[in-house]
A and B are shown apart, each in its own frame.
Chain A
């Protein structure tokens, strides 16, 4: 049992200072409905003498008018509906100060129905105080709120176990609750600074130390708040400067926005993602009437600024500026952990609008990996995410997006989803299993010009008796791609076709020997094969490629490499169980034992084609039947 002793209590040393320099910390109070959040706030205000004159009397009068006992909740529950129903509907804020600093106290509703309002309140805070009723113990919303605080990026949390008076100020009961809740928080990666036994009604350990609980040696609630550290500004991190707008009020063309992380200086070279244009900062613009104040030459995280560039490049709202060497990820597919607030459930395959920083784009829910039960952290599968649920999903966009992983750069690693007119959910990004595609779409060659061929595509096709093209096989390991590809190659050759198989293992022996199995290298592997296959096709041949090629983005890029030529995506289809039963190379066994990591279908995703030209179901067709189907297809599509 972790016991907070005086010696361990480290309080932030903030000096009482003039008002202009006083720190402001925003604290959200969360917890299950009726566990005493509002009472605790009322008690804190009363005992620190922060209530405005006449407020206590006016609350008393409101209670008497309704014939209810004195209710602190009326301090913040300002709406008639809230007072009449005795329930907090929407989040509210109230201000108080200690010797150390100023506080904004954010009250968040504990009722499940008002989760969107709880998130609205909590997301604004620097730290959180979680309230648990000692008589009721840890309840559904106690866990859910803890989980969501973590997801919202709030790392400083203290816990108050309230209503200790109802359980006779017993240490044993408190210890059990503390242990249970600490275990839960630890499992989601949160370490509470203090767990404090309190009675908000009686005023124990809120402002004054409790005489009834002499066994508790830790700080009071107010001291625990004072121990929270102010949120550090992210000036030492790579620059993230989302373009908010471009102004041309006068002769200056000002790129306006707020620096979310890092800093920039006049003369810095910036890259704007995802357009990948670069230019240097010519000036940092600021308006001031204070005479003699010079224009700044540097700007830092948190500042809303404007810059001009040395070149007139076309940049618009939604682009993310960074330094060249620490640019954000570019991708059209990523993983996210989301909370859903929509009136309609989130559905697989449906499109929403994503807002990430100042960028907006349509995205489609490619898959719903799991629904997370925030009570016991268990996972279940579902084809939709209901209101107030938390889920792991994969999102796909039609165009490249510039973003970051939440753990590395929170401000550019989180987003909201819009359904019709409403913010329907929020999420944080992970790229686990997915590649940063920035390098794949970056061309480093300059000063190059295409040379025109002396032989036309038509002339080649006429001479060969067939067109050139690509048959792009995709499917799980063991689905039969290579077997079918090789048999098809033989059959087509016999029929007089110029045909060649590009096979995964073969290519990795030569052309791609320098590539590993990281997501980025896998993507590069496929990019090169796509380019080579396209060259074969242009040379008049039929290239059959036999690669798992699990990602849609990679296959789409291979199709683009063919540049309008004959490209046929062939889905060689068999489910994981069938493939695992075949296991011709013994790879599934190794993947199951953990010997191979990130194995497609087992521990890495396979994104099925949604518009393949042809699907060959090898669990239903024999090799000969498969080849016959394909030969007929080729004769139909390629013969001149």
Chain B
């Protein structure tokens, strides 16, 4: 087994554990490279099927290319697709810095959707190498009744024994890609020929490394126009993946506050 085989096998194991142990689970689809890999891995885990709803929590501020991609592959991959809208910005905590406040809309939309569908758990495609608080996450990560993350007292998790027993009212985030890195995602996308949104490829000397809302996501300088070139670029770059995501950089703890409150 090479490295990608090992990563894939571990993700499949996580998917199957969660699907067996938790009733009423759904997957979050942000339309980005990671969640596309995540859907792919679910199809591997369940032999071509995705046996739970796949939900896009829509800020309505994504790029048009992302919406095109969503509509095409929701049909082509035969997904049980759900679209949920986020509440307007006026309803969001105004003590947050502007970009974080904008990102918090997604958290609010997420909470509404969980309530509406009574999901006990959600698959989310976050990775440890994206950001330092995500590096401290568990694969099965319990949230309080209002979605908050108690990072001071996380459950032990070892020997692939995950916390799968919860008092009523607990919500669980399951992270099948937690152990992947950015370059792993691209290597796997290349190997498996997974469809990709064109925004990731360089145009006029710039490309998007990470896709979020239009107004708070910026492209980074790049000449990579193929996946191979992206991989080449990542092996030498010293610029962090989320450098184009404004909300991470407004305050030292901006992202931690978002996450503690239920952001992915």
Question: Is B118 positioned at the interface, with any CB of A under 8 Å from its CB?
Answer: no
CB <8 Å contact, B6 and A302? yes
**Given A19-B187, A256-B16, A258-B13; A123-B159 close (CB under 8 Å):** yes
9-residue interface stretch from A420-428, A431-439, A460-468: A420-428
Question: Is A447 positioned at the interface, with any CB of B under 8 Å from its CB?
Answer: no
Q: Give a binary string over A394-426; 1 marks a CB under 8 Å from any B CB, 0 the rest.
A: 000000000000000000001010101111001
CA distance A33 to B46 in the complex (A): 44
Complex interface residues of chain B between 137 and 175 (CB less than 8 A to chain A): 138, 151-152, 154-159, 161, 163, 165-167
Question: Is B135 positioned at the interface, with any CB of A under 8 Å from its CB?
Answer: yes
Which of these, B157, B235, B253, contacts A80 with CB under 8 Å?
Answer: B253
CA distance A78 to B132 in the complex (A): 5
Shortest distance between the CB of B209 and any CB in chain A (Å)? 13
CA distance A95 to B179 in the complex (A): 11
Question: Is A273 positioned at the interface, with any CB of B under 8 Å from its CB?
Answer: no
Residues of chain A at interface, number, CB under 8 A: 63
Q: Across the interface, which residues of B come within 8 angstroms of A92, CB to CB? A: 132, 135-136
Question: Is B80 positioned at the interface, with any CB of A under 8 Å from its CB?
Answer: no
CB <8 Å contact, A79 and B256? yes
Complex interface residues of chain A between 432 and 486 (CB less than 8 A to chain B): none
Q: Give a binary string over A299-314; 1 marks a CB under 8 Å from any B CB, 0 the rest.
A: 0101110100000000
Question: Is A22 positioned at the interface, with any CB of B under 8 Å from its CB?
Answer: yes
Question: Is B181 positioned at the interface, with any CB of A under 8 Å from its CB?
Answer: yes
CA distance A341 to B161 in the complex (A): 14
CA distance A420 to B167 in the complex (A): 9
CA distance A21 to B135 in the complex (A): 24
Q: Across the interface, which residues of A come within 8 angstroms of B133, CB to CB? A: 78-79
Question: Is A289 positioned at the interface, with any CB of B under 8 Å from its CB?
Answer: yes
Question: Is A162 positioned at the interface, with any CB of B under 8 Å from its CB?
Answer: no
CB <8 Å contact, B16 and A304? yes
Question: Is B112 positioned at the interface, with any CB of A under 8 Å from its CB?
Answer: no
CB <8 Å contact, B158 and A78? no
**Given A119-B156, A120-B157, A123-B159; A78-B20 close (CB under 8 Å):** no
CA distance A517 to B238 in the complex (A): 66
Most chain A Cβ neighbours within 10 Å, of B16, B51, B181, B193: B16
Which of these, B6, B51, B129, B167, contacts A95 with CB under 8 Å?
Answer: B129
Which of these, A19, A81, A249, A306, contacts B235 with CB under 8 Å?
Answer: A19
CB <8 Å contact, B136 and A258? no
Question: Is B17 positioned at the interface, with any CB of A under 8 Å from its CB?
Answer: yes
**Given A21-B3, A92-B135, A289-B193; A124-B239 close (CB under 8 Å):** no
CB <8 Å contact, B47 and A306? yes
Question: Is A612 positioned at the interface, with any CB of B under 8 Å from its CB?
Answer: no
Q: Across the interface, which residues of B come within 8 angstroms of A53, CB to CB? A: 238-240
Which of these, A123, A245, A355, contacts B16 with CB under 8 Å?
Answer: A245
Most chain B Cβ neighbours within 10 Å, of A22, A51, A300, A416: A416
CB <8 Å contact, B3 and A22? yes
B162's closest neighbor in chain A, by CB? A423
CB <8 Å contact, B9 and A302? yes
Q: Across the interface, which residues of B come within 8 angstroms of A76, CB to CB? A: 132, 135
**Given A124-B158, A304-B9, A306-B47; A80-B135 close (CB under 8 Å):** no
Complex interface residues of chain A between 222 and 281 (CB less than 8 A to chain B): 233, 244-245, 247, 249, 252, 254, 256-258
CB <8 Å contact, A416 and B161? yes
Question: Is B214 positioned at the interface, with any CB of A under 8 Å from its CB?
Answer: no
Which of these, A24, A116, A254, A304, contacts B156 with CB under 8 Å?
Answer: A116
CB <8 Å contact, B132 and A418? no
CB <8 Å contact, A24 and B3? yes
**Given A304-B13, A304-B16; A20-B191 close (CB under 8 Å):** yes
CB <8 Å contact, A247 and B252? no
Question: Is A287 positioned at the interface, with any CB of B under 8 Å from its CB?
Answer: yes
Q: Across the interface, which residues of B come within 8 angstroms of A55, CB to CB? A: 240
**Given A51-B238, A92-B132; A120-B163 close (CB under 8 Å):** no
Complex interface residues of chain A between 277 and 293 (CB less than 8 A to chain B): 285-287, 289-290
Shortest distance between the CB of A330 and any CB in chain B (Å)? 21
Q: Give a binary string over B112-134; 1 marks a CB under 8 Å from any A CB, 0 the rest.
A: 00000000000000001100110
Question: Is B2 positioned at the interface, with any CB of A under 8 Å from its CB?
Answer: yes
Q: Across the interface, which residues of A come within 8 angstroms of B181, CB to CB? A: 95
Shortest distance between the CB of B21 and any CB in chain A (Å)? 9
- Known contacts A304-B13, A421-B165, A426-B156; 6 additional CB pairs below 8 A are A21-B2, A80-B253, A92-B132, A92-B135, A245-B19, A249-B48
**Chain B residues with a Cβ under 8 A of chain A:** 1-6, 8-10, 12-13, 16-17, 19-20, 43-49, 51, 128-129, 132-133, 135-136, 138, 151-152, 154-159, 161, 163, 165-167, 181, 183, 187, 191-193, 231, 235, 238-240, 252-253, 256
The 8 A-B residue pairs whose C-beta atoms are closest, nearest first, are A78-B132, A123-B158, A304-B12, A116-B156, A421-B165, A304-B9, A416-B161, A287-B48
A-B contact pairs, 14 of them (CB 8 A): A20-B191, A52-B240, A79-B136, A120-B158, A122-B158, A244-B16, A247-B47, A258-B9, A302-B9, A304-B8, A304-B10, A304-B45, A421-B165, A422-B163
